[in-house]
Amino acid sequence: MLEARLEQAQLLKKVVEAIKDLVQDCNFDCNDSGIALQAMDNSHVALVSMTLKAEGFSPYRCDRNIVLGVNLTSLMKVLRAAQNEDILTLKAEDAPDSLNLVFESSSNDRISEYDLKLMDIDQEHLGIPETEYASTIAMPSAEFRRICNDLNAVSESVTIEASKEGVKFSCNGDIGNGSVTLRQHTDVEKPDTNIEIELTEPVSLTFSLKYLTNFCKASGLSTQVKICLSNEVPLLVEYNLSGSSFLRFYLAPKIGDEE
Amino acid sequence: MLEARLEQAQLLKKVVEAIKDLVQDCNFDCNDSGIALQAMDNSHVALVSMTLKAEGFSPYRCDRNIVLGVNLTSLMKVLRAAQNEDILTLKAEDAPDSLNLVFESSSNDRISEYDLKLMDIDQEHLGIPETEYASTIAMPSAEFRRICNDLNAVSESVTIEASKEGVKFSCNGDIGNGSVTLRQHTDVEKPDTNIEIELTEPVSLTFSLKYLTNFCKASGLSTQVKICLSNEVPLLVEYNLSGSSFLRFYLAPKIGDEE
DNA sequence: GTGGCTATGT
DNA sequence: ACATAGCCAC
Q: How many residues does chain A have?
A: 259
| pLDDT > 90? residue A192 | no
pLDDT, tens digit, for every residue of B152-205? 999 999 999 999 889 999 999 999 999 999 999 888 888 889 999 999 999 999
Window A64-123, strand C contacts by Cβ < 7 Å: 83-84
Determine whether the interchain pair B176/A98 forms a contact, defined as Cβ–Cβ distance below 8 Å. Answer: yes
DSSP tally for chain A: helices H, then strands E: 4, 18
**Residue B213: its H or E element:** helix B209-215
- Measured CA to C1', the nucleotide nearest A77 is D1
Instruction: Confirm whether any atom of chain C, the nucleic acid strand, is less than 7 Å from CB of B166.
Output: no
Helices (H), A55-173: 72-79, 141-152
- Separation of CA B217 and C1' C8 in angstroms? 13
Could you tell me the pLDDT band of residue A173, with boundaries at 50, 70 and 90? confident
Euclidean distance between CA atoms A33 and A55, whole angstroms? 8
- Separation of CA B145 and C1' C2 in angstroms? 25
Contacts of B125 (CB under 8 A, 6+ apart): none
How many Cβ atoms from other residues are within 10 Å of residue B23's Cβ?
A: 19
Decide: A90 and A75 in contact? Cβ < 8 Å: no
If one compares A149 and B109, the residue with the highest pLDDT of the two is A149
| pLDDT > 70? residue B257 | no
Residue B243 corresponds to which amino acid? Answer: G
Decide: A39 and A28 in contact? Cβ < 8 Å: no
Q: Using a CB-CB distance cutoff of 8 angstroms, which residues of chain A are in contact with residue B183?
A: 109
Euclidean distance between CA atoms B246 and B182, whole angstroms? 25
Contacts of A146 (CB under 8 A, 6+ apart): none
**Partner residue facing B176 (CB), from A80, A112, A114:** A114
Q: What does the pLDDT read at residue A179?
A: 93
If one compares B250 and B128, the residue with the highest pLDDT of the two is B250
pLDDT, tens digit, for every residue of B77-87? 899 888 778 89
Phi, psi of A55 (to 5 degrees): -65, -20
Q: Which residues pair with B46 in a beta bridge?
A: B251
- Separation of CA A132 and C1' D4 in angstroms? 41
- Measured CA to C1', the nucleotide nearest A17 is D2
| pLDDT > 70? residue B131 | yes
Nearest-CA residue of chain A relative to B183?
A: A109
Q: Which residues pair with A6 in a beta bridge?
A: A88
Residue B95 corresponds to which amino acid? Answer: A
- Separation of CA A249 and C1' C5 in angstroms? 30
Taking phi over 0 as left and psi of -120 to 50 as alpha, with beta for the rest, B227 belongs to beta
Beta-strand pair B66-71/B135-140: unpaired
pLDDT, tens digit, for every residue of A45-88? 999 999 999 999 999 999 999 999 999 999 999 999 998 889 99
Could you tell me the pLDDT band of residue B108, with boundaries at 50, 70 and 90? confident
Q: Determine the average pLDDT of the residues in A100-112.
A: 88
**Partner residue facing B195 (CB), from A78, A109, A117:** A109
Could you tell me the pLDDT band of residue B107, with boundaries at 50, 70 and 90? confident
Handedness of CA B1, B6, B11, B13 (dihedral sign): positive
Q: What does the pLDDT read at residue A257?
A: 56
- Separation of CA B101 and C1' D1 in angstroms? 38
If one compares B10 and A132, the residue with the highest pLDDT of the two is A132
If one compares A49 and A220, the residue with the highest pLDDT of the two is A49
Q: Using a CB-CB distance cutoff of 8 angstroms, which residues of chain B are in contact with residue A117?
A: 174-176
Alpha carbon A187 to its chain centroid, in Å, reads 26
Instruction: Confirm whether any atom of chain D, the nucleic acid strand, is less than 7 Å from CB of A73.
Output: yes
Q: Which of A50-54, A131-135, A149-153 has the lowest mean pLDDT?
A: A149-153
Q: Determine the average pLDDT of the residues in B17-23.
A: 91
Could you tell me the pLDDT band of residue A258, with boundaries at 50, 70 and 90? low
pTM of the shown model: 0.92
Residues above pLDDT 90, as percent of chain B: 73
Residues of B with CB under 8 A from a CB of A: 143, 146, 150-151, 153-154, 174-185, 195
Decide: B208 and B235 in contact? Cβ < 8 Å: no
| pLDDT > 90? residue B70 | yes
In this complex, the residue with its CA at the shortest distance from the C1' of nucleotide C4 is A84
Instruction: Confirm whether any atom of chain C, the nucleic acid strand, is less than 7 Å from CB of B145.
Output: yes
In this complex, the residue with its CA at the shortest distance from the C1' of nucleotide C7 is B217
Q: Determine the average pLDDT of the residues in B71-75.
A: 92
Decide: A96 and A27 in contact? Cβ < 8 Å: no
Instruction: Confirm whether any atom of chain C, the nucleic acid strand, is less than 7 Å from CB of B215.
Output: no
Could you tell me the pLDDT band of residue B43, with boundaries at 50, 70 and 90? confident
Q: Using a CB-CB distance cutoff of 8 angstroms, which residues of chain A are in contact with residue B176?
A: 74, 78, 98, 114-117
Residue B84 corresponds to which amino acid? Answer: N
Residue A45 corresponds to which amino acid? Answer: V
Q: What does the pLDDT read at residue B258?
A: 53
Euclidean distance between CA atoms A229 and B114, whole angstroms? 66
Q: Which of A122-131, B73-82, B99-108, B153-162 has the lowest mean pLDDT?
A: A122-131
Q: Determine the average pLDDT of the residues in A161-173.
A: 93
Window B91-110, strand C contacts by Cβ < 7 Å: none
Q: Is A63 helix (H, G, I), strand (E, B) or coil?
A: coil
Determine whether the interchain pair A71/B178 forms a contact, defined as Cβ–Cβ distance below 8 Å. Answer: no
Euclidean distance between CA atoms B250 and B128, whole angstroms? 9
If one compares B118 and A175, the residue with the highest pLDDT of the two is B118
How many Cβ atoms from other residues are within 10 Å of residue A125's Cβ?
A: 5
Contacts of A56 (CB under 8 A, 6+ apart): A6, A11, A34, A241, A242, A243, A245
**B72-79 helix and B9-19 helix, angle to the nearest 10 degrees:** 140
Q: What does the pLDDT read at residue A98?
A: 96
Residues above pLDDT 90, as percent of chain A: 66
Decide: A34 and A90 in contact? Cβ < 8 Å: no
Handedness of CA B20, B21, B24, B29 (dihedral sign): negative
